[in-house]
Amino acid sequence: MAAAAANKGGFDTIYALSSGRPPAAIAVVRISGPEAAATLRALAGRVPVPRTACLARLRDAAGATLDHGLTLWFPGPASATGEDLAELHLHGGRAVVDAVLRTLAARGLRMAEPGEFTRRALIHGRLDLAEVEGLGDLLSAETEIQRVEALRRAEGQLGRALRGLADALVALAAMIEARIDYEEAQALDGVETDGALHALSARLDALLAAPPVERLREGVRIAIAGPPNAGKSSLFNALLANDAAIVSPIAGTTRDVLERPVAIAGIPCLLLDTAGLREAEDAVERIGIERARAALASADLILDLAETVPESAARIAVQGKADLVPPIAGRLAVSSRTGSGLDTLLQTIASRAAALLPGPDQIGLEARYRVALETVRGALDAARATSDLVLQAEHVRVARETLNRLTGGADIEAMLDALFGRFCLGK
């Protein structure tokens, strides 16, 4: 009810070109808000049957034809935005689109901000926050693995998991309150609450076990390390199939850290070329080496062309210049010159990188979710550690509040601005 009243009272009618930049075969213009029906009637002569494409001659205020196109009508609240929503499918020429957008502006409608349609969907309860975040990632997905994971969140898997946790916490709080309030319940042992606490912690652990979604969004960071002239920049270029980095026989050629995104077997990666590590005389080279060390410290994987870094989960030992140097046991032999060994190296990178990303049955969590869910788990641990029922109830209350703040609270506005900044116009 509240949403419907706000729809009539508080929201203006917005429009935007929701398809790509013209010229294109078809352009989709969306109109959302209380004036959507009147606008459709004015342009197309009538409001078509809901959710059915209807061919119409579109006219401006003076009655001149703007275009022949399809019109679609989605009455609120069962629309994508939760408001009355109209779609115009136009011929995708620049002048056609401009003329229609001008006509909408002349009617007093407002051009939507980036992400504003989605923002309204969130306000009107058509999408939850986790779905919106998933949608944001889906729109910017460039690799297959990003698409699949973002789609899981856009379809509400994370929201459902969080709602399930919230419901279980409510049940747990009720259980504890009952034991506080009723002597007989108190006389029962705490087996039931202990069991519920244990099950909840296990669900949290499963959620928290997923690797961070930021790594999926930004790419697995793969740094190339080695002494000067080891062939780092050559390998960087070979892996990118692009002469991005300067290669020369002069030791100390690379100074800055060079970053390039690359998809390896559908996995988003960020490849980093670094300065060769040595005791440098030159002040500029020394700065480059400091930057190289910082890049190695932040890397998820390190392609080590020598014994540059100690053995670790991140290190992949590579033997460069395989066309010149005989192979060394335990190292992947690669020649950037002939390309030999590159496929094997790419396969190794792909399998090691895939293990660092959310798996097929995991939902990637943003830092905000990880921090909050860790707080929830901490509160549950504290509840398990005490037999004082009043204290237990208090820890569970903290857990519930933390979870509720995550899905909609006072500090959510700033987060929304940042989130919708990532959306494109017309979404």
Ligand X SMILES: Nc1nc2c(ncn2[C@@H]2O[C@H](COP(=O)(O)OP(=O)(O)OP(=O)(O)O)[C@@H](O)[C@H]2O)c(=O)[nH]1
Residue ranges of the annotated binding site for K(+) are 229, 248, 250, 253
Q: How far is the CB of 294 from ligand X (least distance, A)?
A: 16
Q: How far apart are the first and last CA of the chain?
A: 25
Contacting ligand X (CB under 6 A), which of 276, 341, 358, 426? 276
DSSP string, 304-321: ESSS-S-S-SSEEEEE--
- Does 320 help bind ligand X (rule: CB under 6 A)? yes
Residue 324: which of Mg ion, ligand X, K ion, none does it interact with, CB under 5 to 8 A by kind?
Answer: ligand X
Q: Residue holding tokens 């077997």?
A: 265
d(CA 155, CA 405): 21
- Of 272, 266, 290, 267, nearest in space to 280 by CA: 290
CB within 8 A of 301, min separation 6: which ones? 220, 221, 222, 223, 314, 315, 316, 349, 352, 353, 356
Cα distances (Å, whole numbers) of residue 181 to 97, 389, 394, 401: 66, 10, 15, 22
Cα distances (Å, whole numbers) of residue 164 to 174, 200, 204, 295, 368: 16, 10, 11, 40, 18
- Does 226 help bind ligand X (rule: CB under 6 A)? yes
Pick the piece of the chain touching ligand X (CB under 6 A) from 24-32, 56-64, 230-238, 362-370: 230-238
180, containing H or E segment:
helix 157-181
Enumerate residues 86-115 that contact ligand X by CB under 6 A.
none
Q: How far is the CB of 282 from ligand X (least distance, A)?
A: 12
Binding residues (CB under 5 A) for Mg ion: these are: 232-233, 253-254
* Residues comprising the chain, all counted: 427
Contacting ligand X (CB under 6 A), which of 147, 203, 286, 337? 337
Contacting K ion (CB under 5 A), which of 19, 79, 103, 229? 229
Q: How far is the CB of 271 from ligand X (least distance, A)?
A: 13
- Does 39 help bind ligand X (rule: CB under 6 A)? no
d(CA 288, CA 246): 15
Q: Residue holding tokens 């019109």?
A: 71
Contacting ligand X (CB under 6 A), which of 230, 314, 372, 396? 230
Residues annotated within the binding site for (6S)-5-formyl-5,6,7,8-tetrahydrofolate are 30, 87, 126, 427
Nearer to ligand X, 33 or 276 (CB): 276
Enumerate residues 245-264 that contact ligand X by CB under 6 A.
247-249, 251-254
Residues that bind K ion (CB under 5 A): 229, 248, 253
Residues that bind ligand X (CB under 6 A): 226, 228-234, 247-249, 251-254, 275-276, 320-321, 323-324, 335-337
